[in-house]
Structure 1
Amino acid sequence: MAELYQFTSDRRNIDLEITFMSRYPLAVEGIEFLPLERVEHEVLKDVEMDIRTISDSETYWEQKLPGDYEEIIKWSKDRVQWTTKKELYSILCKGFPVQDCKEWLYLAKNGKKCLMISARTCLRKQEWSWQSLPELRFEDVAFDLHGSSFWLSCKSKLLSPEKTYAIYLVYKLQENHFGFEAPVKVTDVIARRTYERNHSWYIFFLSPQTPVLRRKVYQNAHNPLNRPKIKGLPQQRNDGWMKVQVWEFQANTNTKRLLDELLLTFFNNNLPRGLIVQGVEVEHI
């Protein structure tokens, strides 16, 4: 699915004519109209306001905690101390390092467990250059990709079985970046070897230019602030980094097979420059 246009409807019937110009065969299932969602920082402001205004009832904050929060606390390499359930909830939302500081465990806004896996753990060291950034969750970040493709491994012992997860690459693009306009192919190599369907799809590191349709031609604009959350399109994080969903899977006893062989390939063997990777975020859907 790709975002084509954005517009504000002033009547029930809208007449749009769209022409596709492509050198390659194109199969179209249909056109989908999605209402725009509120931007993420506005939603977070509302959540922060709720936290400040809600009473300090221990029962309320106990319900906000996951049922296995006592087990989660044991995974921290440092001793977790708190006096109230509200304080504990705040600690878990911020998160803490686990698995010898190779992963970071935290709670999402919906209370579900999330993991962030360090770049050192999920990337092949020989494919990148490395830099230390102490202010981040993990000190080392990967940059200066040495080719037109790279491997991604997202194994973890902390995933719950029979749960569906989304994998996001957390990254930044330097000011002098280039080579990220075209889509990037993501391939589950093992699934491809066993001739399984749906073993690859496409993502973007830069959102394509989206025109906003106005009533008059000269009012057209690009890159609106509000964007629908489409799989494969990048999203802005609150910490200044970007993230894009690269895969989706259901954790089970064979999780290693699903996650150990993802290959990201840039279009036409393009050699991109300016990509910085902090790690991989695994979210329970």
Structure 2
Amino acid sequence: MDLQIMKRSRRDDGKEPRVETTVANEEGYDDCSITRLPEACLAHAISLTTPMDACRSSAVSSAFQKAASSDTVWERFLPPGYTSILDRADHPVDLTSTKKELFLNLAQDHVLLDQGTKSFWLEQTSGAKCYMLSSRSLMIILADNPIYWRQSYLPDSRFEEAAELLSVCWFEMSGNIDCTELSPNTQYAAYLVFNLADESYGLDCPTQEASITIRDLMVSAKRTVSLHPRTTAQETPPCGSGGGCLGTRGGDERGGGGRAEEESTVSYPRERGDGWMEVELGEFYNHYGDTGMVAIRLTETVQLHWKKGLILEGVEIRPKS
């Protein structure tokens, strides 16, 4: 049913304003209405926004809803080269669904890649690529020696196994990902995803240091990382209580307080919704056309206190919120 829309306009001669009438239908104004545009034009305009904006625009009208759900829109939101990434999936991904369904599936769940060594998904508000590098894909010093590390099956892990630290004093791990695997012009952060065993110590040492480099160039300021929550770290003595130091490396006598000239931001972990904890290791910007490897490192090779109880799922790389 048509609606009578009354619009008042003031006359230039100062007399009573005249009343103009415009007829509109349930979809909006008949005259100059955006909903009168062809669906292809609406879809193109919506594709220039974001996935979140596209979902919101569906509430405008049935014409917008149809355009906002089209493959034209959601194909643009899917990252370039997504088919080649999904070709590496451990289990086949259904590509016959609509592009919107595919996007939402990738935003709501992860896909295991490369024989279970990586996990891939999309950031739901932007469509940016996200990854987790499994503990198996990380370079961990002494990880192949069962005296120091072991691989454990955990039902709540997205991977088949997680690495459990039994006892080390020299702690060094790193993970790599190619810049071209990531979304361009995106600010990323890297997070260590882990839990702590019932008995753990030495993981809040003030000389645990994280860094990120691209093509061997430092792109993130080094930061001190504690793997115990802030309250625990504040209540326990430096480096925990699991044994004495074996000494310091290279004559560095930083001790518990660290060298004042090299003080850095301390990262503390927080609990995630999936039951794991995460701590930020650093951030970097992936420019358009960047090439080379992003190297993410976490080390403690200075005070050499004994460490135990880290259950490592992997390193997550996702857009910085």
With the length of structure 2 as denominator, give the TM-score of the two structures: 0.54
Shift of 1:162: 5.9
Query: CA 1:241 to 1:145, structure 2 compared with 1: closer, same or farther past 3 Å?
Result: same
Residues 188 and 200 in structure 1, CA contact (< 8 A), matched pair in contact too: yes
Residues 183 and 267 in structure 1, CA contact (< 8 A), matched pair in contact too: no
Pairing 1:78–2:77 present: no
SS of the residue 1:269 aligns to: coil
Counterparts of 1:1-285 in structure 2, within 5 Å, are 57=66, 59-60=68-69, 63=73, 65-68=77-80, 69-81=82-94, 83-93=97-107, 94-110=109-125, 111-124=127-140, 125-126=143-144, 128-133=149-154, 135-157=156-178, 158-160=181-183, 163-188=186-211, 200-209=222-231, 232-251=267-286, 252-255=290-293, 258-259=294-295, 262-265=297-300, 268-285=303-320
Post-superposition Cα deviations, 1:177-226, rounded to whole Å, max 9, x if no partner, equal 233344452255989x99x797632122123239xxxxxxxxxxxxxxxx
Query: CA 1:95 to 1:57, structure 2 compared with 1: closer, same or farther past 3 Å?
Result: farther
What's the Cα RMSD here?
Answer: 3.8
The number of residues matched between the two structures is 212
Distance in 2, matches of 1:135 and 1:185, equals 27
Gaps of 5+ in 1: 1-46, 211-229
Structure with greater Cα Rg: 2
Post-superposition Cα deviations, 1:147-198, rounded to whole Å, max 9, x if no partner, equal 134322222242346644211110001223233344452255989x99x797
Shift of 1:79: 2.6
Distance in 2, matches of 1:99 and 1:107, equals 17
Distance in 2, matches of 1:274 and 1:283, equals 26
Which amino acid is the alignment partner of residue 140 of structure 1? Answer: E
SS of the residue 1:277 aligns to: strand
Distance in 2, matches of 1:231 and 1:165, equals 19
Query: CA 1:235 to 1:83, structure 2 compared with 1: closer, same or farther past 3 Å?
Result: same
Shift of 1:135: 4.9
Distance in 2, matches of 1:106 and 1:139, equals 18
SS of the residue 2:190 aligns to: strand
Identity %: 26
Which amino acid is the alignment partner of residue 137 of structure 1? Answer: R
